[in-house]
Amino acid sequence: MKLSHLWSLAEATFDDTRLVSSAGLVPVMALAERAGLSKLIEDKVEITTSKVASAGVNPAGKLTSIIAGMAAGADSIDDLQVIRSGGMARFFGGVYAPATLGQFLREFTHGHTGQLASVLRAHLVSLVEHSELLPGIQARALVDIDSLLRPVYGHAKQGASYGHTKIAGRQVLRKGLSPLATTISTTGGAPVLAGVRLRAGKAGSGKGAASMVREAITTARAVGASGKILVRGDAAYGSAAVANACLAADAQFSLVLTKNPALTREIAAIPDDAWTPVHYPGAVTDPDTGALISDAEVAEVAFTAFASTKTPVTARLIVRRVRDANHQDPLFPVWRHHPFFTNSDEATAVADITHRQHAIVETIFADLIDGPLAHMPSGSFPANAAWAICAAITHNLLRAAGSLTGSTHAVARGATLRRQIINVPARLARPQRKARLHLPQHWPWASAWMTLFTHVFPSATT
């Protein structure tokens, strides 16, 4: 690719009032409104007293401006300026300046973030009704819970404190804020966020997990999960509170248990003939005997967990053991054991594979870190909590838009959707007083873009 010689005398000016860089916001925000986003905010979010006069007025217009900016790639308050460039004022009304939006976020309190979290859940329910999110949820829904630590710097961040996180497989202490998130997914559908709750960096990973799980199960039922619901979590959530929350909500659980002497004795008592190989990607079949050869094996026993609490639970203890790579003696193998506790009715090996798919929650964390949660933009803790919930609403909205493209965008990452669907340049024309978008010829993802557009605007013609 070579630059034309004509550019030696070129000029450049930023003066086009009909050109936008993010034309994909038109169908995406139309989908948000079709799912009732503004109405939900008007009904649920109310800021009656403001530190700054008029800063808390019109929460619907301000929150939708933040969500639109996030959908276009904004990861800080200053980046929200992207929705005020070019012809955006011709596309959307009531677009606010970043300074106004930042001031609005600083008006939030803990109660207001609870109101916004209610909007997140209700909007997800409506998005499922207006898109093709969560296919097959009637048969089975998977609820996952996990947390992450987002690093922050400086001394002005409320709630910032040192917490444990993993970097390159090693546990380190890092200063930050810790969002706790619950997701809903199906066997054939990408995960969406059912809830996000911001906590101090030093908060234990399991703090508030039981109430988050109850809310997520309720949301899963509301979006159509009439069959089984399985809640999955790692060792931070293998507690009596979480397990009993699942049982009370008539949901199954699959939770990692922290090793203790009782659990270690139970694992050691499993007989050698109880272990069966698991067909992981690295497993092979013996050509002579047809037996499965795998470095991973599973076994299960009945076990009563949380015996020292007032609410012990008896269910299946499934243990996966893998050969220790540091000890390769075939006659005396050394095993590492990974137990989890479940009341699901799947076969042992299938239950193990299903449990390990809990890692799907990491794909959402990767999306958020590569998008709106690249930063915690405010010094105010409630403002950052509201920002995190807006990021969750944006994530679900992009997932819903991707599901309507009729292509692989239904499971695409947020960065991919922004690059291929959202951030498409376009010029607005009004022939015969009819709005018309002129987009780049030969855009590689034009078919997916137009499929989304015609889903949202059925009467539109190309």
> What is the per-residue pLDDT for 323?
77
* Beta strand pairing call for 313-323 and 335-342: antiparallel
Looking at the predicted structure, is the pLDDT value of residue 400 above 60? yes
> What is the per-residue pLDDT for 289?
63
d(CA 61, CA 63): 6
Count of CB atoms situated within 10 Å of the CB of 167 = 8
Looking at the predicted structure, is the pLDDT value of residue 49 above 90? no
Using CB atoms within 10 Å of the CB of residue 156, give its burial: 0 to 12 exposed, 13 to 18 middle, 19+ buried: exposed
Return the domain boundaries, the chain: 15-132+378-462, 256-342
Q: List pLDDT tens digits, range 184-218.
A: 999 988 999 999 999 999 998 899 999 999 999 99
Give 37-66 as a DSSP string.
HHHHHHHH------SSTTTTS-HHHHHHHH
Estimate the share of the chain in helix, then strand, then coil, as percent rounded to the nearest 5.
Answer: 40, 20, 35
Cα 218 from chain centre: 17
Torsion angle of the four alpha carbons 369, 371, 377, 383, in this order, in degrees rounded to the nearest 10? -90
**Contacting residues for 332 by C-beta, under 8 A, at least 6 apart:** none
Q: How confident is the model at residue 247 (pLDDT cuts 50, 70, 90)?
A: very high
Query: What are the two backbone dihedrals, phi and then psi, of residue 36, each rounded to the nearest 5 degrees?
Result: 80, 30
Q: How confident is the model at residue 172 (pLDDT cuts 50, 70, 90)?
A: confident
As a whole number, the mean pLDDT across the chain is 90
Q: Cα separations (Å) of 365 from 186, 233, 394?
A: 18, 15, 13
Q: How confident is the model at residue 164 (pLDDT cuts 50, 70, 90)?
A: confident
Q: Do the Cβ atoms of 25 and 72 come closer than 8 Å? A: yes
- Averaged pLDDT, 326-330: 65
Which is more confidently placed, 11 or 252?
A: 252
**Contacting residues for 337 by C-beta, under 8 A, at least 6 apart:** 267, 319, 320, 321
Judge if pTM exceeds 0.75.
yes
- Averaged pLDDT, 309-325: 89
- Averaged pLDDT, 381-394: 97
Looking at the predicted structure, is the pLDDT value of residue 231 above 80? yes
